[in-house]
Structure 1
């Protein structure tokens, strides 16, 4: 905690508070790269020019730095625009380097952010951003709001549906015949709950934790349960408004996010999958229903821009389901999605996880790096965990085992 307070003090001491109106430029192509900006409030969009066009390559929100390439270049190679009214702390490069020298952990994380940013630029042809409203300034925003008020509500909803309509499943997904085993009911009981979005009462299956037994935890951190597949029962879905979430996330949604779901989400899903689409679990539960529930939760999490680590957990579990269905390509692609979400959460999000939670995320990130051929990144994270004196012995031992296994694998290859 002291380290975090010290870093905040350093940022406050050297940073200059600046405000940019929506639509204004923070820095432009080829301008001297003399400042780095920490976003306190707002949204900044980063653009690059190509021989054919200008493309958006990044979006940064509160808690993120923009202009990080100023650490390694004399001029900005991109353009940064404030999409909404934005408040930042601006740092001279000389001052920023002083901060880095005084906080090694911050320096390492910033370098990782820069590497991740550069990697995204190298793969910019694959970057697709959801549409967001164009706002040039407060006056324009007010005018747009007034004009929108004159448009029939149905038209606004239709436009929202159009903007959010994307593929529901990963390409290659199909229907499967697998279902939950009948003995799974021995580990379950039924409970009626109230939807946090629309207050509809519906029944769900809850786990009898006293009966669930973990046989082992694989090297990729997947727990294997005795005679039970927990992913059949991890997603609860309201049949009325289609609110769908992991059990662990069910009560974590803010009022504003719940209101957004209530206003348009069911309409958006209906437009994509038909008016009759909903998650109706059978008895025994069918794997196709479980897959639909996971994809529906992912669609909702994306729609409300929910926490990236929570999205990563959904994709990771989806990869396990595909693995059990012998869909290796789909399992790999779902796992890659989990890696992308978790990587961005860990390096680019100003999160407030406890030391234990942070170490667990680092372990998972290292496992995903290793699985997708980025062994050097995995070893770096694992080495940091092994050397960290502030994590518990279980995490340290797990990190050490993974580190040694990976070293042995690299040596044998």
Structure 2
């Protein structure tokens, strides 16, 4: 009976998560599904196919006797970075895939979902497969966040600035005064602990020694960042790291991503279309270089990921992915799993910086204060913000 209930819950979760990916794409026009403006942005069609490929490749093919794949070429098309699984389309060429068509990809999803329902009704499920299922579902939720991020980039770089969904997301909020929260020096513990799902890079709860520090109760706002811009922050090399200053000069950077100075006003592209900047809203879409430069200008710094996790129960988080001053490195005792699953996180532990928290694009129930997001220092397209420390 207990096993039956677990299976029912898994079926429900699978169905809801898979449907949510489709719901995210519902407002799109067919033309929107295939656009890839930059290497970091994948076409929405590819996300839909890749998340389906995951279940076919890692659940159905190895575990269902005589399983018939939907299309043998799809492994080449929808494999993302798994060397173990074989050759694949390079990331820069995903936008060249006019075929398979959008309708083909939806047929692929339908086929795999039906085969997965049959699998759930079989007696083939075991603990190791269930663990892989949980990874697959969390993997799809990660791509749901990337879907929204990529859709915003695609539409936000269309000169017509089309809206994704027309909603009134503006709310009259009382501005909360920011204050610094103090923590004493000492030995603390970080890392995932307890029951439930987490990614392998969160495991290995361990002790860290921290000097006394202070961290802001609030995220940096658009208005605060405008002060930095008006103080010529983008033209003062003293606040920028060497690589960051190179980035500013090479890109002629003057503002966060999606900001446009139009008719004497700063506007920004949102999923609701082009709008005037709200000075009280948390800043969004800045890279590590910008976050670090702003902190320097304020004569402060970014928190380390350990400081962020230790203090996270004392402030509200979840509106923006928050840059930390920590390199993305393995926790003590980290080990890659065998096979393709071992490629999920461990292979990226170089030249990346940790972000903590979650954002407005993060799926419900998919945020933890131990979650270790990571991105290169130059990227702006994620829903990123700043929390200061000293």
| TM-score for the superposition, normalised by structure 2 | 0.30
Please state which structure has a larger fraction of its residues in helix. Answer: 1
Q: Which fold has the larger relative contact order, with Cα–Cα distance below 8 Å and residues 6 or more apart in sequence?
A: 2
| TM-score for the superposition, normalised by structure 1 | 0.29
Please state which structure has a larger fraction of its residues in strand. Answer: 1
